Structure 1
Amino acid sequence: MDMSRTISGYLHRIGADRPAVPDAVALRDLQVRHLRTVPFENLSVHLGEEIVLDEGALVAKVVERKRGGLCYELNGAFAVLLRELGFRVTRLQARVFTADGALGIPYDHMTLLVETPARTGSGRGADRWLADVGFGNHSTHPLAFDERGDQRDPAGTFRVVAGPDGDVDVVRDGKPQFRVDQRPRALADFAAGAWYHRTSPDSHFTRSLVCSRNTHDGRITLAGDRLVSTVGGERRERELAGDAEILAAYREHFGLELDQVPQVGVNRKEE
């Protein structure tokens, strides 16, 4: 892989320039642009496609195939981009809180710890950020990992709070989102989590279709045949009529050129 050419293609995909320095401003810009361009989607689950946890394959899916993916794919690819741009990046595993407050499986989610040069007067050698482009409707900006107070974000008010056994919990508007284990992880460590979410009937990804991305004033989501847009807090929903209109919506709103309409369970590969 010609990494220089690949990274140029990645930056072009998200509409970003190569940053002069890998600092906090550049990190925020890259995350925002990624969220607005590359959709969070589980379509591979229902198209019989493998989820390949290999850096080259992950970047190729985003850059060459112009697709999105699950957290393992999106944050996996984003980690490569950041590293090649000079950021120090560590993969972390997290468990997602369910609606009733229970925790999901280990390696339920991949998130990224990113270091940038310390801000003047911070007293630290580096600032640490929780960067995430793979949790769907989540924080728009990276979260200050060592800040324990409220963090205002276009998506709400976030807090990073101490959890048990050295873990930290990410909380949004008072509701816990996921619990982060601070120990560094390799990409291969997430294989079991990716397999579970691609194959298990207990995973919500095998039971539903989702394709979603941020917009400059809200969010747009295609869930099966329902196109949902949120603009300035106002939610609008429209049912699409037929495969042609669904495929056109994938193309128009997410830049996805699909040969067939994904359908829940029809093309999912059992293992």
Structure 2
Amino acid sequence: MLVRAMELGLYLQRMGYRGPLRPTLEALRRLHLQHLEALPFENLDVLGGRPMVLEEEALFDKLVRGGRGGLGFELNGLFAALLRTLGFQVTYLAARVSVAGEWPTAPGLDHLVLEVALEEKWLVDVGFGEAFDEPLPLVPGRWPTGGRMFLLEPRGEEWGLAREEPDGTCPWLYTFSREPRRWEDFVARGQDYPPPGSPLRRELLCTRKTPRGRVTLRGERLLLSEGGHRVERVLGAAEEREQLLLSHFGLPLGSLGSS
């Protein structure tokens, strides 16, 4: 999947990106960071009963022309197309999201992450919500980014990603396999994603990195974090959520739909 030349400028404009475009580590880092700040992780379509469509044109219409965000399959899928168009070598990897911070007991395919090959291999993910700000080297160890410390650890055929928390804990976020996957694998999985019982089906979640922190709308709560400080506000009517989706996430009025 590639972004057509005529659409490349629209995608970069959607991201507000004016940096280098050659397939270098500097460009990858800047594209990754800018994507996180411009396109939110959000589940509005899930709550509105609208199916996930992972065709290239549909993704571009939603995320770029439509000014929306999306889930991991959508965000990382379209970002992979952008990177490939720019000349990066990108591999799709299947991931399994952790439950309660534990290492998943079996491999799975409920998240998409990317492996980008430069002089070294890099883990790329712009579709997990509160994950890492910049690509992580695919090397075991602890890696700082965005004021947080992340841990990459291989166990057998799987790799795990964990994040150190202020209370000293280090819960696992997800595990992934280094075995290359096809885009068609995720298209097939997206037909019934997220599965019944998933938290993504129960309440609104919209989160976006900001230049100095993060803004998150979860259910009836707005959470703002900046410089280690966290402010939480309980919201009122649905109209207030609609306005916040516009002001904090740039989502068009009416995006909330029937959710």
> Which digits, 9 at most, give the CA deviation of each residue in 1:198-233, with x for residues without a partner?
4x3321111121010001111101123321111112
Residues 1:247 and 1:160: Cα distance change in structure 2 (over 3 Å): same
Residues 1:59 and 1:105: Cα distance change in structure 2 (over 3 Å): farther
SS at match of 1:79: helix
Is the 8 Å Cα contact of residues 103 and 175 (structure 2) preserved in structure 1?
Answer: no
Is the 8 Å Cα contact of residues 224 and 263 (structure 1) preserved in structure 2?
Answer: no
Equivalent position of 2:146 in the other structure: 154
- Comparing 106-115 with 15-24, greater Cα deviation is found at 15-24
Equivalent position of 1:106 in the other structure: 108
User: Residues of 1 paired with 2:214 and 2:99: CA distance?
Assistant: 22
Note the residue ranges of structure 2 that are not aligned, 5 or more in a row. 165-169
Percent identical pairs in the alignment equals 38
Query: Residue 122 of structure 2 is aligned with which of 118, 129, 137?
Result: 129
Is the 8 Å Cα contact of residues 15 and 39 (structure 2) preserved in structure 1?
Answer: yes
Matches within 5 A, 1:29-178: 29-99=30-100, 101=102, 103=104, 106-116=108-118, 118=119, 127-145=120-138, 147-164=139-156, 166-173=157-164, 174-178=170-174
Shift of 1:196: 3.9
Is the 8 Å Cα contact of residues 19 and 85 (structure 1) preserved in structure 2?
Answer: no
What is the TM-score with the length of structure 2 in the denominator?
A: 0.90
User: Residues of 1 paired with 2:189 and 2:204: CA distance?
Assistant: 18
Runs of at least 4 residues off by over 6 Å:
none
Equivalent position of 2:253 in the other structure: 258
User: Residues of 1 paired with 2:219 and 2:88: CA distance?
Assistant: 37
Shift of 1:2: 7.9
Shift of 1:140: 0.5
Shift of 1:75: 0.2
Shift of 1:151: 0.9
Shift of 1:159: 2.3
User: Residues of 2 paired with 1:105 and 1:2: CA distance?
Assistant: 30
User: Residues of 1 paired with 2:190 and 2:163: CA distance?
Assistant: 25
User: Residues of 2 paired with 1:182 and 1:109: CA distance?
Assistant: 13
User: Residues of 2 paired with 1:2 and 1:160: CA distance?
Assistant: 31
Note the residue ranges of structure 1 that are not aligned, 5 or more in a row. 119-126, 265-271
User: Residues of 2 paired with 1:62 and 1:162: CA distance?
Assistant: 33
User: Residues of 1 paired with 2:47 and 2:253: CA distance?
Assistant: 12
User: Residues of 1 paired with 2:32 and 2:48: CA distance?
Assistant: 27
Equivalent position of 1:23 in the other structure: 24
What is the TM-score with the length of structure 1 in the denominator?
A: 0.86
Shift of 1:156: 1.5
Is residue 215 of structure 2 the alignment partner of residue 220 of structure 1? yes
Shift of 1:263: 5.9
